[in-house]
């Protein structure tokens, strides 16, 4: 359960009191930092799966002239993104959209996305709120939304445009990497960070749920260690470039 009421980062502040909204976590701030570094002045930028709006608001605040849109399917998240943008004095477009569907093809220079990526065994939940379940449920091996995020971003980027993906290693990392290599060029890891597997701390967790992720880790599908009270994993920020030529 989230107990803090605000998360601050540089000069920015984000609400963290709504249990229906994914408040910025270390992974979010890593993606925000990389987006601020990689988006160039004046570029058109979309932050999909925006949650609190943290990544889009950071780009709007620190990249001169960037044209920023943010999108989500959780109405509570969109309201929070609006409030956070106002509170931080930035102008961004806030849109309801299943990933990138509401946006035109070839529309963006850069897209960032931090998709839901927690493994959910069929029929089970991690005991999080409805909004947090939406923010985390990545299907059986965590990769459903990760793979959609990678494949569907391509046509919404201009040729040569870049995808910035926050990839949690508690999802099927090898499948994500193969899919990136298949659809993009110059795929590179910009940063990585060790983080807690927070559903095991925040949710109502029973042994079969933990057994599911232990099993995925033991057969190499996900990367997680279990020596500490809360299991640990890694998140990466990956940058991938849309090829200039149409795919053959």
Ligand X SMILES: C[S@@+](CC[C@H](N)C(=O)[O-])C[C@H]1O[C@@H](n2cnc3c(N)ncnc32)[C@H](O)[C@@H]1O
Per CB under 6 A, residues contacting ligand X are 22, 24, 28, 31, 48-52, 54-55, 72-74, 77, 98-99, 114, 116, 134-135, 145
State the nearest-atom distance from the C-beta of 182 to ligand X, in Å.
Answer: 21
Write the secondary structure of 166-203 as one string of H (helix), E (strand) and C (coil): EEECCCCHHHHHHHHHHHCEEEEEEEEEEEECCHHHHC
Q: 125 or 243, CB closer to ligand X? A: 125
Which residue sits closest to ligand X, CB atoms considered? 51
State the nearest-atom distance from the C-beta of 98 to ligand X, in Å.
Answer: 5
- In which element (H, E) is residue 157 found? strand 157-168
Unique residue bearing structure tokens 């960070």:
193
If one counts every other C-beta atom within 10 angstroms of the C-beta of residue 42, the result is 12
Q: How many helices (H) and strands (E) would you count in the chain?
A: 8, 9
State the nearest-atom distance from the C-beta of 113 to ligand X, in Å.
Answer: 8
State the nearest-atom distance from the C-beta of 156 to ligand X, in Å.
Answer: 13
Q: 201 or 211, CB closer to ligand X? A: 201
In whole angstroms, give the CA distance from residue 200 to residue 204: 8
Q: 109 or 137, CB closer to ligand X? A: 137
Q: 114 or 183, CB closer to ligand X? A: 114
State the nearest-atom distance from the C-beta of 62 to ligand X, in Å.
Answer: 16
If one counts every other C-beta atom within 10 angstroms of the C-beta of residue 86, the result is 11
Q: 48 or 60, CB closer to ligand X? A: 48
Half-sphere exposure of 148 (CA within 13 A, CB side): 15
Q: 28 or 233, CB closer to ligand X? A: 28
State the nearest-atom distance from the C-beta of 123 to ligand X, in Å.
Answer: 19
Angle 29-161-186 from CA coordinates, rounded to 5°: 80
In whole angstroms, give the CA distance from residue 52 to residue 50: 6
């Amino acid at each position: 359960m989230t107990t803090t009421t605000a998360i601050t980062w540089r000069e920015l502040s984000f609400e963290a009191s709504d249990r229906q909204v994914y408040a910025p976590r270390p992974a979010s701030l890593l993606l925000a930092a990389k987006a601020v570094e990689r988006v160039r002045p004046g570029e058109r930028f979309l932050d999909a799966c925006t949650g609190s709006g943290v990544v889009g608001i950071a780009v709007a605040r620190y990249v001169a002239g960037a044209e920023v849109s943010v999108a989500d399917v959780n109405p509570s998240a969109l309201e929070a993104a609006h409030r956070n943008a106002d509170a931080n004095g930035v102008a961004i477009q806030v849109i309801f959209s299943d990933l990138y569907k509401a946006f035109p093809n070839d529309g963006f220079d850069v897209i960032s996305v931090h998709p839901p990526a927690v493994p959910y065994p069929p029929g089970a939940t991690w005991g999080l709120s409805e909004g947090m379940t939406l923010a985390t449920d990545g299907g059986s091996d965590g990769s459903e939304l990760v793979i959609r995020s990678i494949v569907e971003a391509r046509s919404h980027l201009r040729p040569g445009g870049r995808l910035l993906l926050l990839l949690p290693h508690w999802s099927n990392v090898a499948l994500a990497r193969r899919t990136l290599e298949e659809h993009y060029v110059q795929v590179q890891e910009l940063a990585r960070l060790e983080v807690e597997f927070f559903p095991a701390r925040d949710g109502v967790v029973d042994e079969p749920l933990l057994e599911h992720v232990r099993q995925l880790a033991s057969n190499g599908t996900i990367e997680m260690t279990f020596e500490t009270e809360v299991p640990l994993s890694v998140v990466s920020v990956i940058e991938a470039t849309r090829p200039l030529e149409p795919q053959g």
